[in-house]
Chains A and B, each alone.
Chain A
Amino acid sequence: MTAGTSSFTDFLSQVAPDLLPGRRPLPPGDYSDSTAHATTIVALRCADGVVMAGDRRATQGNYIANRDMEKVFAADAYSVVGIAGAAGMGLELVKLFQLELQHYEKIEGQSMSLNGKANRLATMLRGNLAAAMQGLAVLPLFAGFDTSAASPQEAGRIFSFDVVGGLYEERDYDAIGSGSLFAKGALKKRYSPGLDTDATVRLAVEALYDAADDDSATGGPDLTRKIFPVVYTATAEGANRIDPDEVAEVSRAVVEARHENPGG
């Protein structure tokens, strides 16, 4: 009961280090095939903030381990986070990250700055380095609405990471996961700054479609089972998941348009 840190992770490392992801010693070896992998996430800046979208497929080798997994989450009131890599580690990382932000907010009585949040995530990633080197790598993509920005046009910010905990701020858009190359290729040709949220959501779904088109580990819109991407926005109104019905409609429109022109 002494005054201490406002970081939940630091607190956890003192009282229950065994609950921390990345602190569990692994026997030597490569574990890349022992867990499901999550795949393509895209994040784009728009006029009101940011949009982040993720496909739903998790694979284990050449098997589809899960068809409707969710990999994009609200990190807190104004930020969103997506994960690629070892699914189990990723979900654990997100859970701890959400708690980290919430814990800080409760203890301090105010939210962490957006830069602070990105830095915390980088630090948490560093803790997973040993496991990452043995094939259990997880990479997040972080985006948020910076409430301290001078104007709403500058408020949407995207941060990417590397496996050693390097933190990079992206300009307009970024993608992670096995289909990210194709998603980024699509965005490179189609993205333009200052689009409204609806247009940006459509662009994000198009990019995921292109990723799924060329990457077998990325799931496309599943019209049969009605499984569509998870899309979040972070704007002045806060982090918000776009209504799945709305995403379904956008996805159907994208698929429809590709019937006419498969290349988009």
Chain B
Amino acid sequence: MAMQFYTSPEQIMRDRSEYARKNISRGRNVVVLSCADGVLFVAENVSASLHKVYELYDRIGFAAIGKYNEFENLRTAGVRMADLRGYAYDRTDVTAASLAKAYAQTLGTIFTEQTKPFEVELCVAQVGPNPKSDELYQLTFDGVINPQPGYFVMGGQAEQLVDRIKEGHSFEAGLAEAFRLAVQTLGSNENSDREITTDVLEVAVLERARPGRAFRRITGAALEALMPEPEAASESESASDDDSDDEGDSSAKDS
């Protein structure tokens, strides 16, 4: 007869955490930071069509790392929740905080009730009337929700990179300046800095000044124009042979 071995809850949770953390840490990084012009998302992403950064609602963006099918599932659920709430109440009643709380609930439930936790880390960010009022929420695989102070990094080297971004971050910086900091941060390594090229970058911004839907992808020529001049004698490391493209620019006028 098969015997069910006893495992302590501590051990189970520890194992799950370790499993999720290990897999998430393999992912490439995403930087989210708020600046004078809005909330900027910069992700290292070799795919041109599978995104890590998305629009959730009018002034709310979503960024994720980890297992694609898992965070895609969460993203879709978030869009549905936001659209349903906006339709049933009013567009202004959809907030990043409520979405983040819903995600925390979902992730927490999955973490405790399922055998395998979700291997994801999420960011829900909302652009406010001024940079100090931007809301950035970090959500980890176990359902923990952390409000972040205007900047944060997800992914493998998050802890090292966040120190780097902390030094350079300024709420008064313009988009170009904030972007330069984000790219430098993504490229900074323990040993040597590497150069990040446009073909591995996914960039989007929640534009503060734009009424209605604030989410805009920055691709193609607009991204090239934003790229900082390469600093002399930096080691270049091309990570992908993907072509940069103009596809997926969801900039949209709307009533």
Contacts and interface: CB of A to CB of B under 8 A. Distances in A.
Interface string A90-112: 00000110110011011101110
Given A15-B84, A239-B253, A106 B248 contact: no
Given A106-B79, A109-B51, A74 B255 contact: yes
A1 B74 contact: yes
Given A1-B73, A1-B77, A109-B248, A238 B84 contact: no
Contacts of B88: 16, 19
A77 interface: yes
A132 B22 CA distance: 58
A160 B162 CA distance: 55
B222 interface: no
Contacts of B76: 3-4, 107
A76 B253 CA distance: 7
B254 A102 contact: yes
A240 B255 CA distance: 9
* Interface SS of A by simple majority: mixed
B51 A76 contact: no
A74 B254 contact: yes
A8 interface: yes
Contacts of A228: none
B106 A1 contact: yes
Nearest to B217: A109
Interface in A1-40: 1-4, 8, 11-12, 15-16, 19
B87 interface: yes
Contacts of A105: 250, 252
Interface residues of B, number: 25
Given A3-B76, A109-B248, A16 B254 contact: no
B252 A77 contact: yes
Contacts of A15: 84
B254 A76 contact: yes
B207 interface: no
Nearest to A81: B255
B87 to A, nearest CB: 6
A12 B87 contact: yes
A216 B79 CA distance: 44
A172 to B, nearest CB: 25
B84 A240 contact: no
B83 A8 contact: yes
Nearest to B51: A109
A73 interface: yes
Contacts of A4: 76
A110 B83 contact: no
A98 B58 CA distance: 13
Contacts of B253: 74, 77, 238-240
A141 B96 CA distance: 35
Contacts of B119: none
Contacts of A8: 80, 83, 87
A135 B115 CA distance: 55
Contacts of A98: 254-255
Nearest to A105: B250
Nearest to B73: A1
A259 to B, nearest CB: 35
A12 B106 CA distance: 20
B248 A96 contact: no
A95 B73 contact: no
Interface in B44-69: 49, 51, 54-56
Interface of A: 1-4, 8, 11-12, 15-16, 19, 73-77, 95-96, 98-99, 102-103, 105-107, 109-111, 238-241
> Nearest 6 CB-CB pairs, A to B?
A77-B252, A74-B255, A238-B253, A106-B79, A1-B77, A103-B83
Given A11-B84, A76-B252, A99-B83, 12 more contacts: A1-B73, A2-B73, A74-B255, A99-B87, A103-B79, A105-B250, A106-B83, A109-B49, A109-B248, A109-B250, A110-B250, A239-B253
Interface of B: 49, 51, 54-56, 73-74, 76-77, 79-80, 83-84, 86-88, 106, 213, 248, 250-255
28 contacts: A1-B74, A1-B77, A1-B106, A8-B83, A11-B80, A19-B87, A19-B88, A75-B255, A76-B252, A77-B253, A99-B83, A99-B87, A102-B83, A102-B254, A103-B79, A103-B83, A106-B83, A107-B76, A109-B49, A109-B54, A109-B248, A109-B250, A110-B248, A111-B250, A111-B252, A238-B252, A238-B253, A240-B253
